[in-house]
Amino acid sequence: MTERTTEGAGTVAGEPAAEAPLLRVRDLHKVFVHGGKQLHVLRGVDFVIHRGEMAALVGASGAGKSTLLHIVGTLDAPTAGRVEFDGRDVSRMDSRSLAVFRNRTIGFVFQFHHLLPEFNALENVMLPAIIARRPREEARSRAERLLGEVGLGERTTHRPSELSGGEQQRVAIARALVMEPRLLLADEPTGNIDSQTAAGIHELLFSLNRRHGTTMIVATHDERLAAKLPRRLEIRDGQVVRDTGAVLPCVELPAVPGPPPPAPAAGD
């Protein structure tokens, strides 16, 4: 029997979502209650991200960048407002479907890489695929390919403690990509490494976007990185105060591997 998958098809039963952008954030609010006090961190955040975009999320420390990424990544729920993928409101999904959705759709890279210390680089990268119950050999070959792409083909059996900070972050990026996520969320990915190593990570993110068409939102206060990204979303006082607007890639690559696009018509 052939298994069919609708993964990446961009449609949801009952909703004509073919035209929907990859991500739409609508009137998002987040209130934390801490020590009896209310902290209104997000106060009506709206934006749209199209497939293949690379956007910088900037704002002062405490502006709510991590909070926003966590909500977009479905790790935390908004107090009000909604997050839509392909026109589908993820806040209406139950926690089990949400966990599956997150594992398949979103990749996270954090400032502190959160690699598991007792596993080597290869095993760390394989882990999301193993959790998703992909065949072990497939998980292994994907992980090996990605470690090669991030320049760590010779480090697959090193544990995190046997890698430099920049190498650890590369492993974390490979791990975030092993499920071929449609959206990569990076929270201060170069916040904890020296500037030369950071430059290498920036290049890596760009090349992954070019090669795989991975859509990315990168929270950063590294101006060198933010300045290089095609789009800039700036948050202040809980709102997007500046958005330089979508810059679509010259060539839109499929989010999931598929047949090559047809050759352009001659003489066009």
Ligand X SMILES: Nc1ncnc2c1ncn2[C@@H]1O[C@H](COP(=O)(O)OP(=O)(O)O)[C@@H](O)[C@H]1O
For binding to ligand X (CB under 6 A), which residues are involved?
32, 34, 39, 41, 59, 61-67
Task: Out of 51, 57, 66, 115, name the contact with Mg ion by CB under 5 A.
Answer: 66
Cα 147 to Cα 152: distance, rounded to the nearest angstrom: 5
Query: What's the rounded Cα separation, in Å, for the pair 171 and 112?
Result: 12
With CB cut-offs between 5 and 8 Å by kind, which of ligand X, Mg ion, none does residue 172 bind?
Answer: none
From the list Mg ion, ligand X, none, partner contacted by residue 190 (C-beta under 5 to 8 A by kind) = none
The three-state (H, E, C) secondary structure of 162-187, written as one string: HCCHHHHHHHHHHHHHCCCCCEEEEE
> Which does residue 93 touch among ligand X, Mg ion, none (CB within 5 to 8 A, set by kind)?
none
The closest of 34, 10, 36, 4 to 23, measured between CA atoms, is 10
Choose from ligand X, Mg ion, none: what does 67 bind? Cβ within 5-8 Å by kind. ligand X
Smallest separation, CB 214 to ligand X (Å) = 22
**Residue 88, by phi and psi: left (phi above 0), alpha (psi -120 to 50) or beta?**
beta
CB of 182 to ligand X, least distance (A): 23
- Asked if 67 is part of the footprint of Mg ion (rule: CB under 5 A), the reply reads no
Judge contact between 20 and 49, C-beta under 8 A.
no
Residue nearest to Mg ion (CB): 66
CA distance 246 to 31: 28
Q: Are 32 and 62 in contact (CB under 8 A)?
A: no
Decide whether 192 or 197 has the Cβ nearer to Mg ion: 192
The answer to the question of residue 190 lying near Mg ion (CB under 5 A) is no
- Nearest-approach distance from CB 202 to Mg ion, in angstroms: 18
Residues lying near Mg ion in the complex (CB under 5 A) are found at 65-66
